[in-house]
Amino acid sequence: MLAEIRGLNEECGIFGVWGHEDASQLAYYGLHSLQHRGQEGTGIVATDGEKLKGIKGEGLVSEIFTQEAIKELSGKAAIGHVRYATAGGGGYENVQPLLFHFQSGSMALAHNGNLVNATALKSQLEAQGSIFQTSSDTEVLAHLIRRGGFSAFKERVKNALTMIKGAYAFLILTETELMVALDPNGMRPLSLGKLGDAYVVASETCAFDVVGAEFVRDILPGELLIIDDNGFRSEMFSVASNIAMCTMEYVYFSRPDSNINGINVHTARKNLGKRLAIEAPIEADVVTGVPDSSISAAIGYAEATGIPYELGLIKNRYVGRTFIQPSQSLREQGVKMKLSAVRGVVEGKRVIMVDDSIVRGTTSKRIVTMLREAGATEVHVLISSPPIKNPCFYGIDTSTKEELIASKYSVEELRELIGADSLIFLSTEGMIDAIGRTDDGENRGHCLACFTGRYPTEIYPNADHPYEKV
């Protein structure tokens, strides 16, 4: 994916395993398969049944976890995390899993998502004497668990989960059990798998394929799953309501070989492209997709229209993520380092460029320019989602409306800004139909907040927030 240059990033991915002698090694492979969900930091916490030990750092999975580091994390259970910083910002202290030691034992937390009432809860907890060691919203849950009025740890966890609002998939590891929780709206993907006698949990099912696990089922919204040496048991800490899976998981974030609620991501993206062919039929010579997440949609468009699909854009997979860009001219050159137009494919051709979204618009403009410089006579930009006009408060790094170019300009103005011959976005209805979820409700199980401005939960940034709840 081109997350580094396109300005749309998921917050993180999580992976857990219980009951395997090489738990930390499995966690390493699982996190490696989820690396696309976060490249800024990673960590693993493992337990041997008596103590918890963790290693974490800022960097990629392969950079932080050498073979020697993995050997230090011995034990039968582990949880891991890959992170892209949104809530709480960057910094080593915010890299997860967060590990806490108490007189009565230890606890580690890994979290995918964002808590919309974290600021309010932090203020309350600090007023009651809590001292926070990080600026991450994830730490709020740890304090709520420890301050809970129940003697049983499970009840403390369930009570704490009822107090937090927003999008969350949590892994909670102790010496004796692994707890798995998903928010009542089911806004983040989370699945259970089995490998021999061991259980694994992951943000995406592609991780199961990598470690050789068999998919068992998705974690249910509002469910607390408890895994220990006796197997797993399920309890509901909240009634599932207004199911609202992040639609961008299908459109952009997840790997094409993952399945979300029974729907293959590659197939969903191909269907988005086929629906684009119905809504935006254009005469052209070649169809190309922006690597990697838009290739499936481009193939679907090509199949539906009969226009040949070609690799008109090539991604350079060996550009380091720490490439220094000290000036504007070099920043723009950075796009060309990560992406190249294939002159032999586009020269003298009318090109349809399929992309999944336009966030800030700068990269779209540069790619259109790149195709023209390579000899394309026309460049038509088709987007396999509606315009992103509203910020996300659930774990994606678009937290202000001002940074979203579609909130400021009409589609025609956007077309002129990026220099395309035409610019067409997929309709909201077309997107929902193409993905194919069958959930009941107005949005058929989708969170559409970034497109419509209607949020599935209350939003708490300030008292006069201009956004409405669905």
Terminus-to-terminus CA distance in the chain, angstroms? 31
Is position 433 annotated in a ligand binding site?
no
Q: Please list the residues that pair with 52 across neighbouring strands.
A: 47
User: Would the annotation count 293 as a binding residue?
Assistant: yes
Q: Contact 166/86 with Cβ under 8 angstroms?
A: no
Q: Is 392 annotated as a binding residue?
A: yes
19: nearest Cα among 207, 194, 203:
194
Whose tokens are 């892994």? That residue is 171
Of the residues 2, 3, 8, 12, only one is catalytic, namely 12
Does 447 count as an annotated binding residue?
yes
d(Cα 161, Cα 139) in Å, to the nearest integer? 13
The Cα 58–Cα 195 span in angstroms is 30
Residues 232-239: contacts with CB under 8 Å, at least 24 apart: 232/192, 232/199, 235/154, 235/158, 237/157, 237/158, 237/161, 237/162, 237/181, 238/161, 238/162, 238/184, 239/184
Q: List all residues 6 or more positions away from 333 whose beta carbon is below 8 Å from its beta carbon.
A: none
Residue ranges of E strands in 59-183: 77-83, 98-102, 105-115, 166-173, 178-182
Instruction: Please provide the DSSP assignment of 269-296 as one string.
Output: HHHHHHHHHHH-----SEEEE-TTTTHH
Task: Quote the CA–CA distance of 410 and 355 in Å, as a whole number.
Answer: 18
User: Cα dihedral angle (363, 368, 373, 378), rounded to 10 degrees?
Assistant: 180
Determine if residue 450 is labeled as part of a ligand binding site.
Answer: yes
Query: How open is the CA angle 173-174-179, to the nearest 5 degrees?
Result: 45
Q: In terms of Cα–Cα distance, which of 58, 16, 15 is closest to 39?
A: 58
Give yes or no: 12 in active site: yes
Interatomic CA distance for residues 158 and 322, integer angstroms: 41
Q: Is 206 annotated as a binding residue?
A: no
Distance CA(6)–CA(293), nearest Å, equals 12
Q: HSE-up of 119 (CA within 13 Å, CB side)?
A: 9
Residue 314 forms beta bridges with which residues? 340
Q: Is 355 annotated as a binding residue?
A: yes
Q: What are phi and psi of 300, to 5 degrees?
A: -60, -40
> Residue 402 class from Cβ within 10 Å (0-12 exposed, 13-18 middle, 19+ buried)?
exposed
* Count of CB atoms situated within 10 Å of the CB of 197: 10
Which residue positions form the known binding site for Mg(2+)? 293, 355-356
Which residue positions form the known binding site for [4Fe-4S] cluster? 246, 392, 447, 450
Active-site residue set:
12
